[in-house]
Amino acid sequence: MDIALIGIGKIAVDQHVPSLKGSPDWELAATVSRSGTVEGVEAFTSFTEMLEARPEIRVVSLCLPPVPRFDYAAKALAAGRHVMLEKPPGATLAECIALEQMARDRGLSIYATWHSREADKVAPAKAWLADKTLRSLHVTWREDVRRWHPGQDWIFEAGGLGVFDPGINALSIVTEILPDPIHLKSATLSFPENRQAPIAADLAFHHPGGARVTCDFDFRQQGEQTWSMEARCEEGTLLLTNGGANMYIDGAEQGEHHSGLDGEYPRLYAKMAELVRKGGIDMDLRPLRHAADAFLLGRRTVVEPFDF
């Protein structure tokens, strides 16, 4: 199937383009970007122009920042195109709900992707936790914003999510692997003096079984990056590291050792192909709901200014 990739930035170049080139399901037929291109692929700077010029491209994948994404997705759906959304699927819950309804009204597929759910050990972790009695789950998600988003000021603007841009990856795993629903009960958000989005966050959740569920997100990590979560249960302890790529039960590694992001985006595109073929929709908004609740409920603290 032909697909158009919208927004040729770092994540598109590093993950989307290689995944599409290696996929048996997809042919990257066009790109839309103000500056980026992909060698050998027709490039447009106008999304409207691409839709008009390439009516045979029935699927678009949006890799734009979250704030402008709604307008692009709505325009694609109005033009009869299936839509795949990079995480987070939008800047607000309401616009994501509206997009899902647009897709349903038109009989189109729409997919809110959460790439970290496709990490190699997320499914085994979910299976292991399914019949366990959880006592605590702690997430440590600390990375260097300068390394992953160099000079990208939009991430600290209103709607850019700040540290929840990576933190929502952790929330996507937590909502996938826990057998019981959780909801936020308290949060502390650290806002740089000169920014509109937080650079760090501490979250605490209500768990129906009384387990202690907490998250520590920070965008100021230097040196080794930390993407881990530890679940302590009556029956043992599960540890996920490297963003869900590796898993340990009571200290013993389970399965093969992987580096981060291995296979995540190829699996997303395989799922999108299945949705399009079956006319399906996948718009799980639980990770975004937890992030939104943090902004609603969180206590705001001001920290030192941040500049790239």
**CB of 87 within 8 A of CB of 62?**
no
d(CA 289, CA 202): 16
Q: Count of CB atoms within 10 A of residue 236's CB?
A: 13
Which positions are annotated as active-site residues?
Answer: 87
Cα atoms found within 13 Å of the Cα of residue 75, Cβ hemisphere only: 16
Q: Around Cβ 10, how many Cβ atoms within 10 Å?
A: 13
* CB contact at 8 A, 157 and 270: no
SS3 206: strand
* Residue 163: both structure tokens together: 């540290």
Number of neighbours of residue 112 by Cβ within 10 angstroms: 23
| Neighbouring C-beta atoms of residue 250, cutoff 10 Å | 9
Helix (H, G, I), strand (E, B) or coil at 256: coil
Exposure pattern of 80-102 as b/e (b: 16+ CB <10 Å)? ebbbbbbbbbbbebebbeebbeb
Strand 110-112 to 42-44 pairing = unpaired
The runs of H, that is alpha helices, within 224-281 are 264-278
Question: Roughly what angle, to the nearest 10 degrees, separates helices 122-129 and 164-177?
Answer: 50
